[in-house]
Structure 1
């Protein structure tokens, strides 16, 4: 494990951390917030929080969690709308200063993640806004600009990934909902495996503290945890067999 106590000079051959990466110059390629401000596709008022991006055949696709939208970005940086995701009503929880418990209140979609599914369609997962309903998050397939629910019953999805044979992997940020917290005070999430042809999700890993993202490589899922704790983030390798 490479850390401050074991780090060798980047000039030393065989150093455990390898060469110190150089910071490449950056420039703004596409103005996602600008597009949201000018167009407000979901009609809920301008609010932009680009949360995930995936390469596509024509450039890239971006989910804007604040704008409840999936956007395309061309290689020249032009932004266009692919789809928006619906707001639904949920019963208000019993909290001080809030409306009476059970009052229907709007809960936005808050799409947080996007991957390219088999056949080229986009797979989008949603967090759901306050009151962050347990079991209220859906998984969408987006083709031709129309989002279709392909799996449901998730809680606060933070990432999705497509694995071998087209299998879907869904990462929940807080499997008991964001209004609950584990003993550590962190939301506790889990990684689920979903087959596109139906069937109940299978838990691959649970009790994940504040997971932030997942990548699938060579029979393993690599999951980031402690994602909200500065200096304490980790990557866990989870076997998929």
Structure 2
């Protein structure tokens, strides 16, 4: 830990749960609270640490599963010992049936498989071409030390799904982070992605930036998200104020062509401290919505912005599995709850007036996708 930080960068956005000492006990999940009109309905179950999700044009829903790690190689970091495995996957949900259509992707997790780092987000081009963002939570040196099974950690991989998956590396996100765009030390953890034309905009939760990856290896930094000083929790030895990193998570494009980026925040994860940023390339990021808490994803639908809060009361206040919500976000600080008391929700996608949200996003085998009517 360097002198200017009070905590190491996160291995993955939701791995901050472990760093905060939060026990991931699936049995503590409460029933989601919502009106009858918005009661969540399960559409996929048995997922391993499900994160972001997206639809293809034919209406198939694809879910990035960060996996449950594996037998190794292993290494110990500030957040504990994790082991590599090929348990990362992509699940497709179509007409009420679910199946894993991509398997064998790299995953890092502890012994119980929770809070894994691995496939984090995806994008479909047509019905058969997929791009997957895979997290790392470290440096390229860490990746190299884990051997050939880790070579796709910290990258975008892309290719065809049918007749069988054929994927290859499209961009090395962790390699780009070696340039340290935010100046706070090299660390990379691919989180969200969105396709714009022939390029992808990627949020790096470790690097605190939004990066564009185009054809022929062309890449550029679209935005760096700032640290801010916040009140320290009552932990002996901490000063009254400590720096909190941004930790950007999801990214979406608005009707105005700007990028909108959600923010989890780093330690100490204070309630109300998350911002949704509006990014216009060439300009400094500007706050669009404030007063949010531990936001992991966002999406636009018919001019309305929806966002997921992983932990409504802040991660440090969580007792067991954090409970979050799906919000309709207003500009500034005017927001309304669409569905609350969701167990560790993470990603959101909207189709046909219904929001689809991943829940139990830090659970190995206990993750799900629920459908929530919006109108």
TM-score range, shorter chain: 0.7 to 0.9
1:66-89 Cα deviation digits (max 9, x unpaired): 000000011334221111000000
Is the aligned partner of 1:214 residue 2:351? Answer: no
Deviation at residue 24 of structure 1 after TM alignment: 0.9
- 2:298 corresponds in structure 1 to 160
Q: Using CA pairs below 8 Å that are at least 6 residues apart, which structure has the higher relative contact order?
A: 2
Structure number, greater radius of gyration: 1
Aligned to 1:186: 321
2:214 matches 1:74: yes
Gaps of 5+ in 2: 1-42, 47-94, 102-162
The verdict on how the C-alpha distance between 1:17 and 1:205 changes in structure 2, with shifts beyond 3 A counting, is: closer
Structure-2 residue corresponding to 1:114: 251
Instruction: Specify the SS of the correspondent of 2:171.
Output: coil
Helix, strand or coil for the counterpart of 1:231? Answer: coil
Residue matched to 1:46: 186
1:85-234 to 2 correspondences below 5 Å? 85-95=225-235, 97-99=236-238, 103-145=240-282, 146-164=284-302, 166-182=303-319, 185-196=320-331, 200-234=334-368
Q: What does residue 8 of structure 1 align with? A: none
Does structure 2 retain, via aligned residues, the 8 Å contact 1:30–1:78? no
The equivalent of 1:24 in structure 2 is: 165
Moved over 6 A (4+): 1-4
Structure (1/2) with the larger strand percentage: 2
Per-residue deviation, residues 100-151 of structure 1 (Å, max 9, x unmatched): 5xx1110010101100011211000101110011100111110123211011
1:71 alignment partner, SS class: strand
Q: CA RMSD in A?
A: 2.2
The DSSP-based 3-state class of the residue aligned with 2:216 is coil
Residues 183-234 of structure 1 show CA distances to partners (whole Å, capped at 9, x for unaligned) of: xx111111110245x5711100110111120001110000010111111111
- What is the total number of aligned residue pairs between the two structures? 223
Scaled by the length of structure 2, what TM-score is found? Answer: 0.56
